[in-house]
Amino acid sequence: MANENGGVGAYGAPGPEAASDATEQGGALQRAAQASDNVDASGTEGNASQQTETQVDWRSRLAGDDKDALKRLARFPDEASLYKSYRALEQRLSSGELKRPLADNASPEDVAAWRRDNGLPESQDGYLDVLELPNGVVIGEADKSVVREFAAAALDGHVAPEQFNKMVAKYYEIQDAQRIAREDADATFKQTAESALRAEWQGAAFRQNLNAIQNLMAGWPDGLAVRVLAGRSPDGRKLGDDPAFVRQLASLARELNPPVSLVPGGASDPSKGLNDRLSEIKGWMGAARGTPAHGRYWGDEKVQAEYRDLIDSQGRMKGRGT
């Protein structure tokens, strides 16, 4: 049974009119919700677009028309990163880590002031005064002029004292390496040359030829033999160890003074040494049989050959009127 307004039936169910109103209200609510969703979606999309444009725009705004600046700004993901980079540079400048460069047209006064600000010596001697080399190395007298040239170059190039020290240390390092390499090469060459001469001058001949050379040079002016033997050929090898040079000296010694190879090296008077050696051997020859002296000649073929060579040399000396 309907009430007076016709809104509710006998069992509390909505009547036709109430159902119609509810349907209209539900539709309105649904349409409102959809509209709200559309508004939210549109707003979110607009914000995202606006944020993207802003993110790109700060680089373009700062770079302007400078394409290189824009490329550089592209390295930074956001404004905060750019600021951090600027702040780090500012701190380096304020701490003195970064120094201003010397102007191309700087006056002598400006140069002097700039050198003081950067802790650079004012003269060549200033570099030498602060020079410190590793392992206690001290500059020798022969090297002082060279190191002063290094200091002049350092002064002209505005080189820091620490780097000047490293350059001089490298100079000595190179010198040491060259010296070691030369000593090794000299030792190898000397050994090779001696082996070749021993193979050529077998037995007593090797020592005899060396005696001849020593006796020849004994008559030279003081120090000349040392300078000649220590001299070097264009390939850097010592003349005193060169087999060809040693052979030539031995040949010259035998030609000028035949007996010099038969007496001890360094004798000032080879003829006296020859006569003394002959007297000694003749004493062995005349010694009583069975005695050690008798055996030193008659039991040794080398001494007998030496005696014959001495006699032959003595004859050649007499023929030359020596």
- Please give the structure tokens belonging to residue 286: 């005349």
* pLDDT for 139: 87
* pLDDT for 195: 96
* pLDDT for 233: 93
* pLDDT for 15: 44
The residues near 285 (Cβ < 8 Å, ≥ 6 apart) are 297, 298, 307
* pLDDT for 106: 78
Domain ranges in the chain are 108-179, 201-319
* pLDDT for 258: 60
* pLDDT for 50: 52
CA atoms within 13 A on the CB side of 230: 6
For 263, the 3-state DSSP assignment is coil
* pLDDT for 210: 92
The residues near 216 (Cβ < 8 Å, ≥ 6 apart) are 249, 252, 253, 256, 257, 260
Q: Which residues of the chain fall short of a pLDDT of 70?
A: 1-56, 93-99, 258-272, 316-317, 319-322
- Please give the structure tokens belonging to residue 262: 């038969």
Alpha helix locations (H) across 66-160? 67-73, 79-95, 108-117, 124-129, 141-156
232 backbone dihedrals φ, ψ, rounded to 5°: -125, 145
CB atoms within 10 A of CB 250: 23
* pLDDT for 319: 64
